Amino acid sequence: MTERTTRARTRGGIVDFEVVFPSSEVDVRELHESSGVPVADILAVTHTERFPALDEDEAAWELAATAGRTVLERNGIDPDDIGLVLYAGSGEWDLPFWSPAAKVADELGITHAHCFEVANFCNGGMTAVRTALAELALGGAPYALVLIGDRLSRLVDHEDPESKALFNFGDAPAALLLGREDCLLDVVASAARTDPSWADYYSGDVEDDRVLMRRRGRRQGLGDAYLENFPARVDDVLGALGRRIEDVAWFLVNQGDKGMHEKLLARLGIPADKSVFNYHRYGHMGGSDPFIALGDLIGEERLGPGDLVLVAASGMGFSWSVTALEYRGR
């Protein structure tokens, strides 16, 4: 049977973006005390002693709104020019049966937009980008706002040693301003695929009014699925552009697993110095990981006009996507 994957050539891109870090942190010593897992074993997952996470009194939507307000004000965007507000993540929002997209729009005075949520887990941000650009291509308002607002740290049972692989999950809401022209980063191609046979590998339990992620069983082969699907999506994107792997200036990935990150670069033949490793600074910030890396590259002037950047994102389900960006500069 021939494998099919969704591919897209797009017009438009990311005009600006902002990532906001919460006021609190997760500390590996606290994880050790609550779970009983040795500190060394936790550090093998986190690669850092502490990383950003929502405080008990913080809501992800509020930080996402702060990021959204920043990009609108920095670019002088009238809220009436936003025609779409998408809020991306796992679908487990700050409140149940509720629209954080609409809440943020109300907070920012955006009253003429269609507001809704995109749930594709840590691939949600890039899925929302694809969705928003497709909507912008149809005309209407000139801008869309994509918000990445997961609350991953709240979904991990830090008392469960079996959840150790998730102990690096933290929080960093973000906002992406998308437009049809004058973009900081043009989105030039993307490809995505879901392997539904992994649908039940993780699911949630409701315990004491919390939803907690649980791995189900011990099925083997997820690592192999990553090393199969990401390179295949890279081939899709580069083939659509008529480019080669040597043309890639930077390869960015959501940093859930450092070992997998390194294996993926080796499989693709991309040198480690063409990627960004933030494991020593942050845990896994969900869909915001690549934008933290992009912010570093831009701030350090390590991107040049025309540079091709591939963003690889994955999410439970399991989905894999690769999106090609071309840097245009400010």
Domains annotated on the chain, with CATH: 13-183 (3.40.47.10), 186-327 (3.40.47.10)
Q: What is the pLDDT of residue 1?
A: 37
Q: pLDDT tens track of the chain, all 330 residues?
A: 346 566 655 579 999 999 999 999 999 999 999 999 999 999 999 999 999 999 999 999 999 999 999 999 999 999 999 999 999 999 999 999 999 999 999 999 999 999 999 999 999 999 999 999 999 999 999 999 999 999 999 999 999 999 999 999 999 999 999 999 999 999 999 999 999 999 999 999 999 989 999 999 889 999 999 999 999 999 999 999 999 999 999 999 999 999 999 999 999 999 999 999 999 999 999 999 999 999 999 999 999 999 999 999 999 999 999 999 999 987
Q: What is the pLDDT of residue 8?
A: 58
179, two tokens:
């437009």
Global pTM exceeds 0.85:
yes
For residues 170 and 55, is the Cβ–Cβ distance under 8 A?
no
Residues of 237-265 as b/e, b for ≥16 C-beta within 10 angstroms? bbebeebeeeebbbbbbbbbbbebbeebb
Q: Identify each DSSP E strand in 216-306 by its residue range.
A: 248-253
Pairing of strands 185-194, 114-119: unpaired
Task: State the sign of the Cα–Cα–Cα–Cα dihedral 302, 258, 94, 146.
Answer: positive
Q: What is the pLDDT of residue 10?
A: 58
Q: What is the pLDDT of residue 4?
A: 59
Distances (CA, A) of 166 to 26, 155, 269, 286: 12, 9, 28, 11
Q: What angle do CA 20, 21, 24 make, to 5 degrees?
A: 150
DSSP state, residue 247: G
For residues 20 and 69, is the Cβ–Cβ distance under 8 A?
no
Distance CA 76, CA 64 (A): 18
Radius of gyration of the chain (CA): 19
